Amino acid sequence: MPRVLLTGFGPFGDHDVNPTETIVDSFPSLIPIKNPFGRGSSEVSIEKHVLSVDEEGSRWTANELGSREWDAILHLGLCGECIRPRIEVRAQDLLDMRIPDNSGRQEQGIALSGSGDLHTPVPVKKWNIEQWDVDIELSLDAGQYICNETYYRTHEALNQHKFAIPCLFLHLPSSDHLSIADAMKLVRNMLSHMLYKPSIQVAAGIFLSDQGFLAMKRGENEPKAGKWEFPGGTIEVNETPEDALLRELNEELSIDANIIKKAGVWQHNYPFLHVEIHGFLVESSNLENLQLSVHSEMKWISSEVDLNLDWLEADIPIVQDILKQHY
């Protein structure tokens, strides 16, 4: 049976009530969930904990990770100025407190580790949240207070332990904007998406020349920043792999391309995502005029030495196959 840690906070600052404490205290200890991406269902055990609004509370989950077994971690926090819930996808390496925490601490302009921001590996963008019953948004700003500190410390510990455990922070508005009942439904929906793995189809373009084949380095604002990959992207609903590839090449590189033939289909399982890659040999008459919009760098690959680049794991078998067949 999957086990989930669900946390919230008590009141702080000018807030007499924190809805996340109410939600955690009243949330069932055992819930049924269904696979939102396909078949399957299960019962889930919920471990609940209300964190103190101070440094001790921010570190509690991180300190417990070495001795606990959780299949997912969902932190809840109050966002007093929000009118809709926000899924935080980045924890900032910064503590800059406008008000003291409940212990009287008020750090300002302090780096939490000095190692940079931490992004969740959970593929939230594949969840189609625009179709959910609740108006919800993705956010890159978890604040610079205890919520962000907690999120950062948890991800920091997950990385240190090398645990592939989905962890997210859900900021909730006050009960004036979202009822406790609707918030609890949202938490259930979040957990079902965290505990099951979405499957996506991707189209990849393989440009061949005497110099090798073309590879792209993902930009710093992209998921898995710095990784090398083939140009292309996700195949949308009611879109063929061929149409998706031509669209993505135009969007990413600002070029028109022609498909020569299909090179193959490759499968890969990431910890939080299954990927099916449809690869195509492609050509373009204006390749010298391409413009990078989501990538930071490009490189022609022609040797197994280039396998030492930091490739997306799903693309490595494709690279190996192309090198064997063409170079």
Residues shown for the chain = 327
Residue with tokens 């399957």: 40
Predicted confidence at residue 150, as pLDDT, reads 98
Domain with CATH 3.40.630.20 in the chain: 3-195
Please state, in angstroms and rounded to a whole number, the distance separating the CA atoms of residues 274 and 126: 11
Predicted confidence at residue 223, as pLDDT, reads 76
Predicted confidence at residue 79, as pLDDT, reads 94
Structure tokens at 61: 């989950």
Across the chain, where does the E strand assignment appear? 3-9, 30-34, 41-51, 72-78, 86-88, 90-91, 118-119, 137-139, 167-172, 199-209, 212-218, 228-229, 232-234, 258-269, 274-283, 295-301
Compute the C-alpha angle 50/51/52, nearest 5°: 125
pLDDT per 10-residue tile (average), the chain, 327 residues: 96 91 96 92 96 97 94 96 96 96 96 95 92 94 96 97 95 95 96 93 95 93 88 93 96 95 94 93 90 94 91 95 86
Helix (H, G, I), strand (E, B) or coil at 40: coil
The residues facing 87 across adjacent strands are 138, 170
- Which overall architecture, per CATH, does domain 199-326 show? Alpha-Beta Complex (3.90)
Give the Å distances, CA to CA, from 232 to 214, 237, 273: 12, 16, 17
Domain with CATH 3.90.79.10 in the chain: 199-326
Structure tokens at 186: 């949202």
Helix (H, G, I), strand (E, B) or coil at 283: strand
Structure tokens at 120: 């969740």
Predicted confidence at residue 188, as pLDDT, reads 96
Predicted confidence at residue 186, as pLDDT, reads 97
Predicted confidence at residue 327, as pLDDT, reads 72
Is residue 40 classed exposed, middle or buried when 0-12, 13-18 and 19+ CB atoms within 10 A define those classes? Answer: exposed
Predicted confidence at residue 288, as pLDDT, reads 85
CATH number, domain 3-195, options 3.40.50.300, 3.40.50.880, 3.40.630.20, 3.40.50.720: 3.40.630.20
Predicted confidence at residue 306, as pLDDT, reads 87
